[in-house]
Structure 1
C-alpha cells in the first residue's frame, strides 16, 4: 500500500503541475495572441473532448511503445498531461481579464513572456487552484491507462493495487474496503482544501 500510494502521488502531482503550466501558456496564446488559424486550432483542441480514452487506447499504446515509454513513470505521466478542458477553462478565464492590465505592462516594456509570468499567472490563481483539484482527482483515480501501460508491480498505482487484491474465486473484502478508504483520504483532503477555489473559478469564468 505505501508503494502504491507513493506512485499515485508522484504521478498525480507531476501531471497536475506540468499540465497547469502548459495549459496556461496555450490558453493565454489562444485568448490574447492574434495569429492565423487561431480559431481552427482552438476548435481542434475542443474536438478532442468528443473522443474518450477507450477509443484511442490502442493507438496511444502503440505510440508509447514506439517511444519506449512502456513500464515507466514517463509512460504514466506524459500521455496524461494534455486535456482540452483545462485549456478551455483557462482561455475563458483569460478572456475576462481586463486588457488594460496587459497594456500597462506593455508600456513598462514587458514582452509576452513577462506579461504572462508577472501579470496573467498571479491573476490566475483561483482557476489554477480549481483545475489542480480536478487534475489531481482525475489522475489519482486513473485505472485504465495505468493498467495498459505498466506490467511492473513496482509501478502500480493505488487503483491497480486495490484491483489486484481481488481474487478470481474469492476476495478478502475487509482488506479491499480498508484499502479503498485509505485511497479515498487524499482525494477528500484535496477536495476540501480546494472546493472554495473550485466554486469561485466556476462562477467567474463565464462563457464569453
Structure 2
C-alpha cells in the first residue's frame, strides 16, 4: 500500500488576506507581480501635452531638413529658394533638376559603383561578424576574454587614426584605385561583431547543452539553432553596413583616383563644384543618394525592429 504525500496549500489569514505562517513560523513567499505599466489613457492632460510637444519637436529636427531638401529638389528655376518666407510646397513642382543631374555627371555609373562596394561590405559583415560573434559568445577557447576586449578597444579609436595604415595596406596589396580596395576595410566592423555577440549570448545555455548531448557540432548548432534566433540582429547588421558603405566619403576619396571608379558620394562633389550656385541640383543629387537607403530599410524594417529587442529563443 503506497502512501502519497501532498504539499498543503498556503492558508490565507482572513484578517489580513495574507498567507498564514508555515510549520516553521515563516510565511511562504508570495510571487511578486509585475508593476503595472501606465497607459496613455492614465496620463494627466499636462503630461500628455508635454509628450506630444516633445515628440513634435524631435520630429521637426529629424524630418525637417529632409523635407526641405526634397522640396528644394522639386522647385523650378523660376522659383526663389532664398526668399525670407520659405515654403515647403513648391509652387511649380518639376523633376527637371533630377534630369539635369543625370546630364551633369554619370550618376548611374556612380550608383553602380556604390552598390558594388555596399554589397561587398554587407556580405562581409553578415558572414564574418556572425561567425566571430558566435565564436566569442558560444564557444569556449583560451584567450576568449582578450579577443572580446580587443573588439571593445577598437570602438574607442576613431576611423581617422588608422586610415593611413589602411591605405598603406591596400596599396601594398595592389588594390589602390579599385572598388575592392574601398570595400575591404569595411567588410567586418567591431560594432557589428559585438551586436552579434550580444544576440548569440541571449540564447539559453540549456539549448546548446541539449544540442551537444544530441551529437551536434559547432556548425550544426550555428546553422540549426543560433541563426534562426538572431535573424533580426542580422538585419540590423546589414542595414548598418549598407548605410556605412553607401555614405562613406573620406575613404573612397583617398583610395580612388580614376573617375570611372568613383562612388556616388565622390561624384556628387563634382555636382556641387560645377553648379555651386544652383542648390536645386545639389538637393536633387542628395535625394538620388537617399533612395537606395530608403529601399533597403523598407525591405528590412520588419526584421530591424525585431533585432533591436532580440532576446532568447521563444518557443
Regarding TM over 0.5, the answer is yes
Contact 1:142 1:159 in 2 (8 A): yes
Determine if contact 1:89/1:205 at 8 Å carries over to the other structure.
no
CA distance in 2, matches of 1:22, 1:63: 20
SS at match of 2:257: coil
**1:185 equivalenced with 2:291 (yes/no):** yes
In the alignment, what sits opposite 1:93?
199
Which piece of structure 1 moves more, 181-190 or 162-171?
162-171
RCO greater where, 1 or 2, for CA within 8 Å and sep 6 or more?
1
Alpha-carbon separation, structure 1, partners of 2:254 and 2:160: 11
Deviations 1:67-86 (Å, cap 9, x if unpaired)? Answer: 11101121011111121111
Aligned partners of 1:26 and 1:56: how far apart in 2? 21
Equivalent in the alignment of 1:59: 165
| Distance of 2:140 and 2:150 partners within structure 1 | 17
Contact 2:170–2:176 (8 Å) recurs in 1: yes
- Is the 8 Å Cα contact of residues 93 and 205 (structure 1) preserved in structure 2? yes
| Contact 1:30/1:42, CA 8 A, preserved across alignment | yes
**Of the candidates 155, 163, 178, which is equivalent to residue 49 of structure 1?**
155
Q: String of CA shifts for 1:134-177, please: whole Å, max 9, x gaps.
A: 11111110111111111111111111110122228945433222
TM-score under structure 2 length normalisation: 0.62
Q: Using the alignment, how far apart are the partners of 1:40 and 1:145 within structure 2?
A: 29
* Residue 32 of structure 1, aligned match among 115, 138, 148: 138
Q: Deviations over 1:174-207 (max 9, x none)?
A: 322211111111111222333342222222359x
Pick the structure with more helix per residue: 1
Measured on the aligned residues, the alpha-carbon RMSD in Å equals 1.9
Output aligned runs, 1:1-208, within 5 Å: 1-167=107-273, 170-205=276-311
Change over 3 Å in CA distance of 1:177–1:94 after alignment to 2: same
Q: Which residue is equivalent to 2:62? A: none
More displaced stretch, 193-202 vs 46-55: 193-202
Unaligned runs of 5+ in 2: 1-106
Max Rg structure: 2
Counterpart contact for 1:133–1:190, Cα < 8 Å: yes
